[in-house]
Amino acid sequence: MSDSTPSYFKSVPDELPVRRVKTAIVTGASSGIGLELAKKLSLNGYRVVGNSRRITSARTLTETEHIKRVDGDISLPETAERVVASAIQHFGTIDLLVNNAGVFLPKPFTEYTTEDLRVAVATNLFGFFFVSQLAVARMRLQKFGQMWWMQYKSLLWRPGGIADGRGLKAALALGAEGVQIGTAFLACAGSGANTTYREALLSKDTPRTELTDKFTGRLARGIKNHLMDELSDIDSTVMPFPLQHALVQTVAQPASMRGRADLMTLWAGQSVGLCQHADAAELMTELIAALEDIRKSEFEELGRQAETASR
Ligand SMILES: NC(=O)c1ccc[n+]([C@@H]2O[C@H](COP(=O)([O-])OP(=O)(O)OC[C@H]3O[C@@H](n4cnc5c(N)ncnc54)[C@H](OP(=O)(O)O)[C@@H]3O)[C@@H](O)[C@H]2O)c1
Ligand SMILES: Cc1cc2nc3c(=O)[nH]c(=O)nc-3n(C[C@H](O)[C@H](O)[C@H](O)COP(=O)(O)O)c2cc1C
């Protein structure tokens, strides 16, 4: 560097290391969180291998020189092999595995059918295991790589999908120390949601929810309605938050005032089909009763153990 080089530049080496292009595998990349992650990783310079059972026919993730799609059920070992082989053949390394493909059943586990259980275990457990086994073996050889698992944010603190005493009991029985409940309280009077919104949350026809960034510019889950469909059909770039929000509110706010649920932004979690209380005190009473049931069973068990020990 010459003496005329600005001082702030002198600390930069003459030969900068070339930033290595990284490769990510994203399972369940045809919709929801997986699709958005795959797109964001690609925008940030990652080469991406996206998998789902029908990722090609879904046509949500476009195949390019830097994005490869692999169709197949990730709970099958042969799909895991094809996914990992695709990453290595096309891009050479695996830097990140996002285990995102997953099944969430919006009902209490006491109501799972045998088929529900089979699908959930296959996708959430086998679908995690086979691809992780192959990808981690490769990462060990490379001596780098990381893995994310999206099925559960935390087992100790269970957020999402709980709206009643049965869900609370199930979460605690599975090892959670606490739960976070949002949507079920949103459906209760006094929550800030208006009558139309609360009626949609309490509707007996379990509404479908979807993730979208078209409502605000940021990704969030809401009830799938006409407004979401119309916005999804528009093939244009979403404006950054909060501009997109301001734009969409020009429709959603008057719709809200007129009670038009089809044109409102109806935020809701995956527990929406389970909401049944319109009164927060009733919901709390049910949750407290569930906790008391658990405590009663624990005391009974302790009593039995003490009796056995004293014999
Ligand atoms: N959304 C939430 O609030 C939340 C909260 C906690 C955890 N999670 C977890 O985060 C993950 C993504 O959630 P999401 O809401 O984005 O789900 P989603 O919209 O239902 O997407 C699921 C994705 O997984 C794919 N998939 C399902 N079964 C598969 C299989 N056997 N093999 C390969 N791909 C499969 C689906 O595509 P195909 O149908 O084409 O296979 C789809 O691309 C899930 O594991 C979910 O349990 C979500
Ligand atoms: C009205 C409302 C607003 C929320 N806002 C946020 C938020 O800004 N950031 C966030 O991480 N979670 C937010 N949540 C999610 C909650 O913190 C909680 O994790 C979630 O609602 C639990 O899932 P459930 O709705 O299925 O019960 C919100 C939930 C509701 C109902």
> How many angstroms separate the CA atoms of 128 and 134, rounded?
11
60 lines ligand 1 (CB under 6 A): no
> How many angstroms separate the CA atoms of 4 and 203, rounded?
72
The answer to whether residue 79 is domain-embedded is: yes
The answer to whether residue 55 is domain-embedded is: yes
> How many angstroms separate the CA atoms of 119 and 103, rounded?
8
Model confidence, pTM: 0.55
The answer to whether residue 114 is domain-embedded is: yes
* DSSP H helices in 7-146: 7-10, 32-43, 55-58, 77-91, 114-121, 127-142
| Ligand 2, atom 8: closest residue by C-alpha | 220
Q: Please give the pLDDT value at position 275.
A: 94
Residue 49: which residues within 8 A CB-CB, separation 6 or more? 23, 24, 25, 26, 67, 68, 69, 70, 83, 86, 87, 90, 91
* Residue 17 CB neighbours (<10 A): 6
Q: 241 CA distance to ligand 2 centroid (A)?
A: 18
| Residue 300 pLDDT level (bands cut at 50, 70, 90) | confident
**Rg of the Cα atoms in the chain:** 24
Peptide bond into 242 cis (omega under 30): yes
pLDDT tens-digit readout, 47-105 = 999 999 999 999 999 999 999 999 999 999 999 999 999 999 999 999 999 999 988 88
The answer to whether residue 216 is domain-embedded is: no
- Give, for ligand 2, the residue of 166, 183, 185 to mutate: max count of ligand atoms closer than 8 Å to Cβ: 183
Q: Please give the pLDDT value at position 153.
A: 43
Give bridge partners of residue 11 from the DSSP assignment: none
> How many angstroms separate the CA atoms of 262 and 235, rounded?
20
Domain carrying residue 46: 1-152
* Residue 214 predicted with pLDDT over 60: yes
The answer to whether residue 187 is domain-embedded is: no
Q: How confident is the prediction for the chain on average, in pLDDT?
A: 87
Q: Please give the pLDDT value at position 147.
A: 86
CATH of the domain at 71: 3.40.50.720
Q: How many domains does the chain have?
A: 1
The answer to whether residue 35 is domain-embedded is: yes
Q: 181 CA distance to ligand 1 centroid (A)?
A: 21
The answer to whether residue 177 is domain-embedded is: no
Average pLDDT over residues 199-228: 91
> How many angstroms separate the CA atoms of 241 and 228, rounded?
17
The answer to whether residue 99 is domain-embedded is: yes
Q: 100 CA distance to ligand 1 centroid (A)?
A: 6
Taking a C-beta distance cutoff of 8 angstroms, is the pair 47, 24 a contact?
yes
**Ligand 1 closest atom vs CA 122:** 31
- Give, for ligand 2, the residue of 104, 179, 181, 191 to mutate: max count of ligand atoms closer than 8 Å to Cβ: 181
Q: Please give the pLDDT value at position 99.
A: 94
> How many angstroms separate the CA atoms of 204 and 276, rounded?
9
* Residue 7 predicted with pLDDT over 90: no
